[in-house]
A and B are shown apart, each in its own frame.
Chain A
Amino acid sequence: MMSKGNKQTRAVNWPVTILLIAGCLTIFFPLYMAFIIAMKQPSEMTNNIAGALSFPQTWSLANFREAMQVTDFWNSLGNSLLITVVTVVISIILHGMAGYAIGRSMKQSKIYNIIYMFIVSGMFVPFAILMMPLVKQTAQMGIANRFGVILLYVVFYMPLNVMLYRGYLSNIPIAIEEAARVDGASTWKIYWTIIFPMMKPMHATVAVLTAMSTWNDVMTPLVIMSGTGKNTLPLAQLNFQTQFGTNYNLAFASYILALIPILLFYIVCQKQIINGVANGAVK
């Protein structure tokens, strides 16, 4: 009985494999279409499917070069990178500390329980309700710019990240810290030398989740940074679309350019990203 069962589980399920490979077409088709159109000239875009989907007569990167100029690609990319990297670094530092301070105090203190619930419930506040007051507030404070956007992201992702850190810490026994305390180490030092390094897997999860939400977000920079003349990568596509939306070859080159950085990042850190997302959602 057992050996038969094992044999069954070891055999490759080919029908399912083939179906899943076929299913990949639904994922690759839109990307293929975008790439092919980006490679073509407007004159090649005849009014049938072949016009859009066949290979171009000559492979040329001219559209990409032009799109880079029109959307000021390198500046937008720089802004997106700056905002994402700074947000991730601050999130790991601040949210990690908050998760530690709050998480370790919750057993002894009611107030910290309330603070924890208060911050975590921020997860249910949709951006739509904060948007209008925040536009006014950031303008009054003189931070309707990249700095303000970073600050807002740090606040928006605080509920989830504090929850993740606190959850992870509840599995780290407090005895480790107590040993260090006997040796006379300060709480601050204990955090940075013992706890912070121990939370490494959670840092990865927080970094991945925060980075992906920040990188792809349109709404926050759209309403906060609209007066600065500075773009993030998605925002540049929005402005481009409004101005030159009918030149599809140029537009798709620009879209592909906007997708490449995150695709490269995904290919390099695929395992960490998938694990990070799964951890973040399940915990």
Chain B
Amino acid sequence: MKGDRERKRTFMLITIPILALFICFNTLPLIKGFIYSFTNFKGYGSYDWVGARNYVDLFTDGRVGRSYLFTFKYAIVGTILTNVISLVIALGLNSKIKGKSVLRGIYFIPNVLGGLVIGYIFSFFFTYILPVVGQSLGIEALSSSMLSSTSQAWIAIVIVGCWQAIAMNTIIYISGLQTVPEDIYEAGAIDGVTGWRKFKDLTFPLIIPFFGINMVLSMKNFLMVFDQVMALTKGGPAQSTESISYLIYNNGMSGGQFGFQSANAFLFFVTIVVISVVQMTITNKKEEQL
């Protein structure tokens, strides 16, 4: 067809500069980070090649190990809690209720607010409000600040993380529930399917794609946690809540571990890719089975 060459040329002229921009600020720094991971660069001055030393050290470094443990504990518990609670809320918001659109609007509010400021607000709650409630109710576990306890601080971060993440997942579940045709329930009602079985056998199989999106999205976001840690604990007490992102930021930017933390960052990148791919394969398989 006439003008095919013009069309191709225009597409090329659009794509090349945009691709160049992407390579310059995404691919290039990624490669640079990978190269730095084989050095003992401190972030300034001269440096030497150390081969795969950094990668070997990653697996013996206690602090790195603890940051992975915390991040995974946080991400797994957070993802499960978020998905269960947001699915329950979405089922509620999708049923015949009064003031549906107002309620939906309210339940989405946490998602639009910034993680850092919300973290600061909750920090006050955990430090000054919750212990007083715990004391007056005589609950030993709550009577001192969760944030200063090495065994409880991570729970506080999970609560804040979920508080925000639930809003997002609820909206996605609602759009999933709206794709379920009404006559399926009518057919189910004739067969006497109600309650939990109605959900398990009718609703849930139909919203599995949305469940998949939510699992991948929330897992990825939880694994990259930074703002909440920064606002609530700064990694403490005793490094018990140091997330991988926070450790890379803290030690890489100002701790003189540019090279070592680059190796950590690369391992983190591979981890995220592997988890996302595994999650997507599982949900795709589940979808095919149905």
Contact = CB atoms under 8 A, between A and B. Distances in A.
A277 B164 CA distance: 14
Interface residues of B, number: 95
Interface residues of A, number: 95
20 contacts: A1-B190, A9-B96, A12-B97, A20-B107, A23-B107, A27-B110, A30-B125, A52-B124, A100-B14, A124-B269, A128-B249, A132-B261, A134-B29, A215-B114, A218-B226, A219-B245, A234-B116, A281-B168, A281-B172, A281-B213
Interface in B233-270: 244-245, 248-249, 252-253, 258, 261-262, 265-266, 268-269
A82 interface: no
Contact of A135 (B11, B96, B227, B253): B253
Contacts, number: 267
B49 interface: no
Nearest to B210: A282
Contacts of B168: 277, 281
A162 to B, nearest CB: 9
A21 B217 CA distance: 27
A179 interface: no
A19 interface: yes
B186 A97 contact: no
Given A30-B163, A273-B112, 4 more contacts: A16-B97, A112-B11, A216-B115, A234-B114
A17 B164 CA distance: 22
Contacts of A53: 129
Contacts of B165: none
A278 B106 contact: no
Nearest to B29: A133
A122 interface: yes
Contacts of A61: none
A124 B272 contact: yes
Given A33-B129, A282-B172, A124 B276 contact: yes
A186 B269 CA distance: 42
Nearest to A188: B10
B285 interface: no
B249 A131 contact: yes
